[in-house]
Amino acid sequence: MKLKLASARTGALWVRLGIQTFFKQPLALAGLFFMFMALMSVASMVPLIGLPVAMTLLPAVTLGLMAATRQATQGKFPMPLVLLSGFRAGPVKLRAMLVLGGLYASGFLLALGASYLVDDGGFARLYLGGHMPESDMLQSGSFVAAMWTFLGLHLPLSLLFWHAPALVYWQDIPPLKSMFFSIVACLRNFWALTVFALVWMTVMVGVVLGVGTIANLTGSPALMGTLLFPVLLLLAAMFFSSLFFTYRDSFFDALPPDNKPPVVS
């Protein structure tokens, strides 16, 4: 697997391509993203095993969104089954995706568990949406330390899995090797990914400010709450569309030819 070096400005290009591709098939890509969110939410609600199951599914379903983006770039209308691409490419790739999912779930739970030890679970409950800490807890040193503990552990975990599902699916690379190539590619293209993150942060802050301005101009503060959530969901869908381009431009021969489906093992 030969890596490509992307310039820093390529990070901004990835954001632009993600947004442009989303608007080529907005109904399909938005619908698939909402299905993705619903699947993760339903899986997470299962008592005891819900969160590990959701985290195990996450790499493969994220790959499904990337496959949908690729179809949109080809002028196709992605159908719902594309979300399950990682599970429908043969038994070898199915096992590889489940191994990736198990490794990701283990890493995520370890990171969250480490934060739990720091502040007795305040940050973990907030992150999982089950409990909103009091303002005093949010400002406490232990809560801040727990947050940075989780972020410090989750960042390298994210880099390990950033490209891994796509490498398994499109390049038939085994799970552990795909994680190695993923983090190496992310580190080699550090500045491109940094610009990518900063541009997305700028876009999201700009949208929040824009919605707030519209609410103030119309004299309807409640309008901000009404508009902001769906707008942020659409931005999140665009973000996931842009992930495909970060993979495509990080490896030579990253994708099989358009007329050749991924190898079914």
Domain boundaries, the chain: 10-248
β partners of residue 3: 251
What global pTM score does this model have? 0.89
Separation CA 154–CA 150 (nearest Å): 6
Lowest mean pLDDT among 125-134, 186-195, 225-234: 125-134
Task: Tell me the torsion sign for CA atoms 205, 201, 50, 148.
Answer: negative
- pLDDT tier at 263, thresholds 50, 70, 90: very low
Phi-psi domain of 159 (left: phi exceeds 0; alpha: psi -120 through 50; beta: other): alpha
Tokens of 4: 């490509």
Read off the pLDDT of residues 113-146 as tens digits, 9 standing for 90 and up.
999 999 888 888 887 775 555 666 666 788 889 8
Answer yes or no: is pLDDT of 219 > 80. no
- pLDDT tier at 258, thresholds 50, 70, 90: low
Read off the pLDDT of residues 18-46 as tens digits, 9 standing for 90 and up.
999 999 999 999 999 999 999 998 988 88
CA atoms within 13 A on the CB side of 174: 2
- pLDDT tier at 259, thresholds 50, 70, 90: very low
Please give the C-alpha separations between residue 1 and each of 19, 86, 92, 255, in angstroms, as whole numbers.
28, 20, 19, 12
